[in-house]
Amino acid sequence: MNIVLASASIRRHELLKRLTDKFEIIVSDFDENAVKFDSDCASYVMKLAEGKALNVCKNVHNESIIIGCDTIVSFGNKILGKPENEEEAFNMLKFLNGTSHQVYSGIAVVNSASGKIIRDYVCTNVKFSDLSDDVIRKYIERGEYKDKAGAYGIQGYGGVFVEEIHGCYYNVVGLPLNKLSKMLREMGVSS
């Protein structure tokens, strides 16, 4: 069975290699703005993941298992997406400074031949240490905040901000491997 990752994320690509070497990448051009946030983070990320997977499904011509995923950072019922610039990144990190927040990843696995869809999500609680403005600015200068929900990458230098984590580490990176492995087995794919 052909496996397709509907993501341009290098992190997701690297993580999926831990489950299988046999997959291809087809980047989704799903319009994430088509999904409105209704105060339910779990539902929101699953809808985004499904939208990405179904978008790629239209471009697949042989029977394939398509994996769509989306990750958000949530704090106080506010979603922190990917910052558009350094100022927005600074404000996000300042907002998370010394607090706990949640990282949600939604996963959708679609069988292009049968149309079967499995959706699920993972939520991980992450607590940041107290950060000085200088520490935040030095982090931003590294450029690591780019293309990261909540403006940080736990797998990089941003990991030093994390005081505690409760839940799946790989969820915070962007692809909860344990959950995905179970979903692929449910879809009939052995890893």
Write a three-state SS string for 15-53: HHCCCCCCCEECCCCCCHHHCCCCCCHHHHHHHHHHHHH
Question: Is residue 15 within a helix (H) or strand (E), and if so which, with residue range?
Answer: helix 10-16
First-last CA distance in the chain: 11
CA distance 92 to 59: 36
Q: Among this protein's residues, is 70 annotated catalytic?
A: yes
Q: Choose the catalytic residue: 31, 70, 134, 147.
A: 70
Active site residues: 70
